[in-house]
Amino acid sequence: MSLLTRAAELKPELVHYATSGRFATELRKVLDRFYAAGPPADEANAALPVDYFVLQHPLPGGDTVLDRFVADHPELTERERELLLGWKHVVEGIFEVREVEARAVVLLNLVDELTYRTFSDLGKGAFDHLEPGMFVVGRLVPLGQDWLISCPPAVHTAAMRAQLASAAAHTALANPALVFRNPEILSRARLLQAEQRRCFVAYFGADQFVAHGSEVAERLAGYLAYQADRLGGPRPGPVSLPEHVTRAESVGLIFDEVDGLGYYADFAALEEVFADPRLLVKPRYRELLSGYLRGDAVSPVPIRRLAARDPEKAGAVFARLLNRKGFRWERSGEALLRSHKPGYFAAERLPTVTPITRVIAEHLGEPYDAAA
């Protein structure tokens, strides 16, 4: 039996399992969120929330409906388990139809600039209505070395190219991880981030600086203009920063090799704590350090850097904060960070710089150089 044939059998079984009532509460939450603005406009919009719920929605235990289905069906072969679990890796995109074959269609994703040879579980003729130059907005899942349309997509004519390219550019800029599926773009991003970091160091004299929040925008604008002169590209406009940054007594800007450029409010006070652990008797300092440690969305870079200055004193800092006498940073510091920042460590560290892609260049009206 072909992989496509088996996929066509397993997908409806999986959907029936998900919608049979055992997950009704969680499914209702997903449907309410997707339909908050009103009922679905078409079949594609109606199928989307269920497909997301089946393949990606985290259940209270952290697993997915797909995980439960595989666990509840021990009769599945290893090949079938691999096929199903591969469906966790959904590719959402805006795809241009490049070729239409007898049973497959070749799609170019405008977001990541990768090509996907794609099948449908609806049988022969599923792509008869498609022509090169048309567009498909939808979700794909792995099918061996190829791909499978996961739920009914939205199909658009070639006349919609400008609007769809603009939407793809917005998606790419808002969700760089989608762009970085393309290994060539990921490599370019890492090189670009390294170049920008060198500019930062050349401009400020180090890979970090600390200033009052009210000064950061002006200092950053100067650096960005310097970077534009060094690396090329348009000169930046005014820098806009969140209010919690501009109003902070101090802000640390750190351009880390891996994490890229980050803004850290009240960084000078954090430095004071690591210089004198006795300051933790004061609620202000204790709350500040606790927020940096326990905030899963906060990069561990500031703590790692300050601890590296004096690991022994860093041990004393956390011994006081955690009331753990004898805590040693060199022995337990990394484990401490991992326990409080599971989301950070679970995700691959991607560049914070998104290279210009063809659709982004078109959207911004800038020249595109694939070799840049």
What is the tens place of the pLDDT at every residue in 269-298? 999 999 999 999 999 999 999 999 999 889
Confidence label for 369 from pLDDT (cuts 50, 70 and 90): low
- pLDDT of res. 232: 83
> DSSP label at 75?
T
- pLDDT of res. 178: 92
- Residue 10 reports pLDDT greater than 60: yes
Rg, C-alpha atoms of the chain: 25
pLDDT averaged over the chain? 92
- Residue 261 reports pLDDT greater than 80: yes
- The beta strand positions in 67-153, using DSSP E, are 91-100, 104-109, 115-119, 135-143, 146-149
Give percent of the chain with pLDDT exceeding 70.
97
Average pLDDT of the residues in 250-258: 97
Q: Which of 126, 121, 123 is nearest to 140 (CA)?
A: 121
3-class DSSP state of 326 = coil
pLDDT in tens, 169-180: 889 889 999 999
- pLDDT of res. 358: 80
303 and 262 Cβ atoms separated by less than 8 Å: no
Average pLDDT of the residues in 255-262: 96
Average pLDDT of the residues in 12-21: 94
- Residue 372 reports pLDDT greater than 70: no
3-class DSSP state of 310 = coil
> DSSP label at 351?
-
Cα(354)–Cα(266) distance, rounded to whole angstroms? Answer: 28
- Residue 254 reports pLDDT greater than 90: yes
Number of H helices, E strands in the chain: 17, 9
- Residue 186 reports pLDDT greater than 60: yes
- pLDDT of res. 37: 78
- Residue 370 reports pLDDT greater than 70: no
Cα(282)–Cα(62) distance, rounded to whole angstroms? Answer: 37
Neighbours of 322 (CB within 10 A): 13
- pLDDT of res. 357: 80
Q: CA 79 → CA 76, 181, 222, 337, 354, distances in Å?
A: 8, 24, 56, 37, 36
- pLDDT of res. 201: 98
pLDDT in tens, 101-154: 988 999 999 999 999 999 998 877 789 899 999 999 999 999 999 999 998 899
- Residue 371 reports pLDDT greater than 60: no
Cα(7)–Cα(146) distance, rounded to whole angstroms? Answer: 12
Confidence label for 53 from pLDDT (cuts 50, 70 and 90): very high
Average pLDDT of the residues in 238-266: 94
pLDDT in tens, 21-47: 899 999 999 999 988 878 877 776 788
221 and 238 Cβ atoms separated by less than 8 Å: yes
Domains of the chain: 3-86 (no CATH), 91-174 (2.40.50.140), 188-346 (no CATH)
- pLDDT of res. 355: 85
